[in-house]
């Protein structure tokens, strides 16, 4: 079929798209089926992928088959298989069939959802699904959109923290910093175990890193409320203006859970914005038995978690809620003439461009909606519980082993452990395990000691993968012990 606008057939026709699309979906299904055959951690050296790519782009178009073949030949060797059931590194970034297909449809309609008017469904589905999640996760109803609050999908938890901090900064200064810039007095607080994105947000928001207080933690690596209160009092005494506290539910390093209720009471009494970062662990709140970790959340001004970590929704998808959306909108809103429209002016709609840093936005709610509808709440709970059970089993094995010890409590799905033989053997153990390709683990330091982390959250991780990881860890440790 020829097209008057494209007589030489540069575009992919809808028939070609159908054929190639089926091949691409087949490729993904085959990839899922054979994923355990690849070394989990990519083995390429720096520059190796580029060295195999042509120096210049093709002048004439190429067939789709050739591209797909090159994905196998040139790209797969440089992939670290995050979707492998033997991926236990960092935190999960899992996916699922419905999420991938939702992402595909989002690309297909290709809308840009900056304003309600630029695609009403993009905004309304997002608001609706985030209201669903308030109920699904047992979050305070003040985060729902039918009161003063509401939810929005951000790219990452880092962006959520930044938006929360910006709104906190403006609320604390009567929206003055937006107009005249900061004066170096505002201070922010997070525990010494908080994610590095808080430090980044403090830098971007212009508070200055010197005005971020990393509050001391207790023996379980959770923020000490007494230390927070003391830091705030010291700062007030020195003429500073405390404006923002970030509590973490499930730290990246060790899954520590800050005492949100106690921190929340301090923030309420001091008039300080409380943001709660539950990027990975927030998913566990799907199950009522794990909701104790978020007790006190009714005292928070904002909250986020990442379905793109542990809730089977492929990257990127961070859900961010705010109790007083006007504070955020007033902080971020700019209204150039070319974006003015009746719906916005009527005040009857949300324009999500005012809820995050970028103007443009993808239709990310579609994949989240597909995931929730495909699994149902019970299906999601089933998988979360299974992951937590597997982590608890692994931690029991560690406890009983004699050769290994737990380095931190295991509230959910992350196990921090180490060989009792000291930092050096743990370092060598990690290196050898990851070079072997059968699994992938990462490390942290806790109490100054080198610690291995086994994070369980891959969509298809089963008991056989965890027990095989434990066997491999023990055998490799025994090898190293023999080598001395």
Q: Which helix (H) or strand (E) holds 358?
A: none
H or E stretch at 480? helix 463-483
**Residue 253 and residue 446: Cα distance in Å, rounded?**
8
Binding mask 187-226 for ligand PLP (x = CB under 6 A): --------x-x-----------------------------
C-alpha to C-alpha distance for 318 and 160, rounded to whole angstroms: 8
Q: Is 157 in the site for ligand PLP (CB under 6 A)?
A: yes
Residues in region 378-437 near ligand PLP by CB under 6 A: none
Residues from 247 through 276 that contact ligand PLP (CB under 6 A): 248, 250-252
Q: What DSSP letter does each residue of 135-192 carry, written as one string?
A: HHTT--GGGSTTTT-EEEEES-HHHHHHHHHHHHHHHHTTS-HHHH---S-EEEEEET
| Number of amino acids touching ligand PLP (CB under 6 A) | 15
Asked if 321 and 305 count as a contact pair (C-beta separation under 8 A), the reply is no
C-alpha distances (whole Å) from 470 to each of 250, 391, 415, 463, 474 are 23, 11, 12, 11, 6
Residue closer to ligand PLP by CB (options 161, 473) is 161
| Cis geometry, peptide bond prior to residue 308 (ω within 30 degrees of 0) | no
Contact status, residue 419 vs residue 431, Cβ threshold 8 Å: no
**332 close to 166: Cβ distance less than 8 angstroms:** yes
Stretch binding ligand PLP (CB under 6 A), from 30-38, 136-144, 243-251, 475-483? 243-251
Q: For ligand PLP, give the closer residue by CB, 113 or 250.
A: 250
394: nearest Cα among 88, 110, 73, 173: 88
Q: Which one of 38, 82, 87, 91 is in contact with ligand PLP (CB under 6 A)?
A: 91
Distance CA 38, CA 437 (A): 8
| Least distance (Å) between residue 62 CB and ligand PLP | 34
Complex with ligand PLP: residue 106 or 197, whichever CB lies closer: 197
Q: At its nearest, how many Å lie between ligand PLP and the CB of residue 143?
A: 18
**What is the closest distance, in whole angstroms, from the C-beta atom of residue 277 to ligand PLP in the complex?**
5
Stretch (H or E) spanning 415: strand 414-419
If one asks whether residue 466 binds ligand PLP (CB under 6 A), the answer comes out as no
Give yes or no for residue 95 binding ligand PLP (CB under 6 A): no
Q: Which of 40, 163, 279, 293 touches ligand PLP by CB under 6 A?
A: 279
Closest distance to ligand PLP from the beta carbon of 318 (Å): 5
Quickly count: other Cβ atoms within 10 Å of residue 70's Cβ.
Answer: 14
Distance between CA atoms of 246 and 161, rounded to whole angstroms?
Answer: 8
Determine, following the binding rule CB under 6 A, whether residue 313 of this chain makes contact with ligand PLP: no
Q: Which of 84, 119, 145, 156 binds ligand PLP (CB under 6 A)?
A: 156
Nearer to ligand PLP, 278 or 349 (CB): 278
Tell me which of 96, 118, 158, 191 binds ligand PLP, using CB under 6 A: 158
Q: Which of these segments, 246-254, 282-290, 349-357, 385-393, binds ligand PLP (CB under 6 A)?
A: 246-254
The Cα–Cα gap between 415 and 427 comes to: 17
The Cα 109–Cα 120 span in angstroms is 13
If we measure between CA atoms, which residue out of 209, 165, 215, 222 comes closest to residue 191? 215
106 binds ligand PLP (CB under 6 A): no
Largest CA distance in the chain: 76
Stretch that binds ligand PLP, among 17-25, 65-73, 133-141, 153-161 (CB under 6 A): 153-161
Task: Give the integer Cα–Cα distance in Å for 120 and 123.
Answer: 5
Shortest spacing between CB 156 and ligand PLP, in angstroms: 3
Report the residue from 137, 263, 274, 280 that binds ligand PLP according to the rule CB under 6 A.
280
Pattern 329-368, binding to ligand PLP, x per CB under 6 A? ----------------------------------------
Query: Can you give the binding site for ligand PLP, defined by CB under 6 A?
Result: 91, 156-158, 195, 197, 248, 250-252, 277, 279-280, 306, 318
């Amino acid at each position: 079929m020829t097209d008057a606008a494209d007589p030489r057939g540069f575009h992919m026709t809808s028939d070609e798209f159908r054929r190639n699309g089926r091949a691409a979906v087949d490729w993904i299904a085959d990839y899922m089926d054979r994923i355990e055959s690849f070394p989990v951690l990519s083995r390429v050296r720096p520059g190796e992928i580029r060295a195999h790519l042509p120096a210049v782009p093709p002048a004439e178009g190429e067939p789709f088959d050739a591209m797909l073949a090159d994905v196998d030949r040139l790209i797969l060797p440089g992939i670290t298989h995050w979707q492998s059931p033997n991926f236990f590194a960092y935190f999960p970034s899992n996916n699922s069939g419905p999420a991938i297909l939702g992402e595909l449809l989002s690309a297909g309609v290709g809308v840009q959802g900056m304003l309600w008017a630029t695609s009403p469904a993009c905004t309304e589905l997002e608001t609706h699904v985030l209201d669903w999640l308030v109920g699904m996760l047992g979050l305070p109803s003040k985060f729902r959109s039918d009161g003063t609050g509401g939810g929005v999908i951000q790219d990452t938890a880092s962006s959520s923290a930044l938006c929360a901090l910006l709104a906190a900064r403006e609320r604390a200064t009567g929206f003055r910093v937006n107009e005249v810039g900061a004066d170096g007095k505002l201070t922010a607080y997070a525990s010494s175990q908080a994610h590095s994105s808080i430090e980044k947000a403090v830098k971007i928001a212009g508070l200055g890193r010197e005005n971020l207080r990393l509050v001391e933690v207790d023996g379980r690596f959770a923020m000490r409320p007494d230390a927070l209160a003391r830091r705030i009092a010291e700062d007030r005494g020195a003429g500073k203006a405390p404006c923002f506290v970030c509590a973490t539910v499930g730290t990246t390093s060790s899954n520590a859970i800050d005492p949100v209720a106690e921190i929340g009471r301090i923030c309420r009494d001091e008039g300080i914005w409380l943001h709660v970062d539950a990027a990975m662990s927030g998913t566990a709140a799907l199950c009522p038995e794990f909701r104790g970790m978020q007790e006190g959340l009714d005292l928070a001004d904002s909250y986020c978690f990442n379905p793109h970590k542990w809730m089977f929704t492929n990257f990127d998808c961070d859900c961010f809620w705010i109790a007083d959306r006007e504070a955020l909108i007033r902080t971020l809103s700019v209204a150039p003439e070319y974006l003015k429209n009746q719906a916005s002016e009527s005040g009857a709609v949300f324009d999500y461009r005012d809820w995050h840093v970028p103007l443009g936005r993808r239709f990310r709610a579609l994949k989240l909606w597909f995931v929730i509808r495909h699994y149902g709440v019970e299906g999601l709970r089933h998988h979360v519980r299974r992951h937590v059970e597997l982590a608890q089993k692994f931690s029991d094995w560690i406890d009983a082993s004699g050769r290994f010890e737990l380095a931190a409590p295991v509230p959910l799905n992350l196990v921090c452990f180490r060989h009792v033989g000291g930092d050096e053997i743990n370092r060598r153990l990690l290196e050898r395990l990851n070079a072997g390709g059968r699994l992938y683990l990462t490390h942290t330091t806790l109490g100054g000691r080198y610690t291995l982390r086994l994070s369980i959250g891959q969509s298809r991780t089963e008991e056989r993968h965890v027990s095989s990881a434990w066997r491999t860890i023990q055998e490799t440790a025994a090898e190293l012990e023999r080598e001395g």
